[in-house]
Amino acid sequence: MSVANADLEEDHSYVCKFREINEKFLSLLPKLEIYIPTVAQLNDPLEGVLTEGYAVSCNPPPVKSDVESYLQTVGIYSVSIHKQKWHGSNFLPMWASYANNHSGVCMVLKRKHLTDERFKWVKVQYVTHPHNHKNEQPQRLMPPTFTQDLFGNAQAKLSEKYDYWRHEHEFRLIAQPGSTGHQAMDQFFDLHALVFGFSAKQEEILNVLNQLPDDTKHKLMSADDVGIFQVVKPNTLFMIEPLDNLRPSLKLE
C-alpha cells in the first residue's frame, strides 16, 4: 500500500518556503541546497490524524512499534501551496510564524516531477478536529491501513492534519530514511523568486543574495516573472515590489 504520489498539477506547480534569515539558512545558499529533517528532528510533524490500523489480509501484521520507529527516520520538507498567483505576500500567518515576523524571506519554488522513488510528494488533507465545530457533526475518520510497506505507511500517516493548520496550505516532500539531510535543490525545485518580508533590512537582503551562485543571481535579476522582491504595505494592503535597485550592490563576477 502507498499513497498515490501527488500530481504535478498546474495549480500546484509553485510552492513557497518561508524562512528566517539565519546562519543555517545562509549556509544552504552557496550550493543551492535544501535540508530535509527527519520526523524526529521536527517539533510537530505528527500533529494530525494519528489513528492506527492494519490490513486484515496482512499476515503477519506489522508491529506498531516498527511502524512508529520507522516513521521517526522519515524525512519531511514542508512547503506552502501557491496556485496561479505565486507571489508570497498573502500568506500573512506564514510570514509571522516561519519568517521571523515579516523580517525573513519566502523562497518561491517551482516543483519538478520526481524521478527518484526515494522521494514522494504528499498534499496534506485537512480534517475537522473532534473538539472544533461543536455544533456540527465531527468528521468521522477511518484509520489508515498499515501494511508491510513502511514507506507507504509513512506517506499515509503524514498526509492528514487537523484543520486548525489549514492556513499553512501544506505540501510535503517525503524522503525515505537515509535520504534526508542536505540535498541539492534542483532535484525537486527550480528557484523562481525570492520575496523578502516588509521588515527585512537591506543589509540582510544583500547578505542572502550574495550567498547565491552567480548564475542564480543573474537569473533572478534579469528574467521576466522571476526575480527579487519585497513585501510592502502602503496602506492596509500587502503587495510586492521588485528590488531592481540592488543590482549595483550585488557581488557579480
The closest of 182, 170, 68, 186 to 116, measured between CA atoms, is: 186
Helix then strand count (H, E) for the chain reads 6, 12
168-189 residue pLDDT tens: 889 999 999 999 999 999 999 9
> Which of 4-8, 214-218, 236-240 shows the lowest mean pLDDT across its residues?
4-8
Entry field: residues in the chain: 253
Name the residue among 14, 138, 29, 142 with its Cα closest to residue 88.
14
pLDDT for 131 equals 61
d(CA 246, CA 252): 12
pLDDT of residue 141: 47
Average pLDDT (192-200) is 91
Determine the average pLDDT of the residues in 48-66. Answer: 54
Contact 128, 49 (CB under 8 A): no
Percent of the chain at pLDDT exceeding 70:
72
Percentage, residues of the chain above pLDDT 90: 37
Give me the pLDDT at residue 169, please: 86
Place of cell 498515490: 4
Q: Which residue has the cell 522582491?
A: 229
Mean pLDDT of the chain: 80
Mean pLDDT, residues 80-91: 68
pLDDT in tens, 121-164: 999 888 776 665 555 554 444 555 666 788 988 888 888 888 87
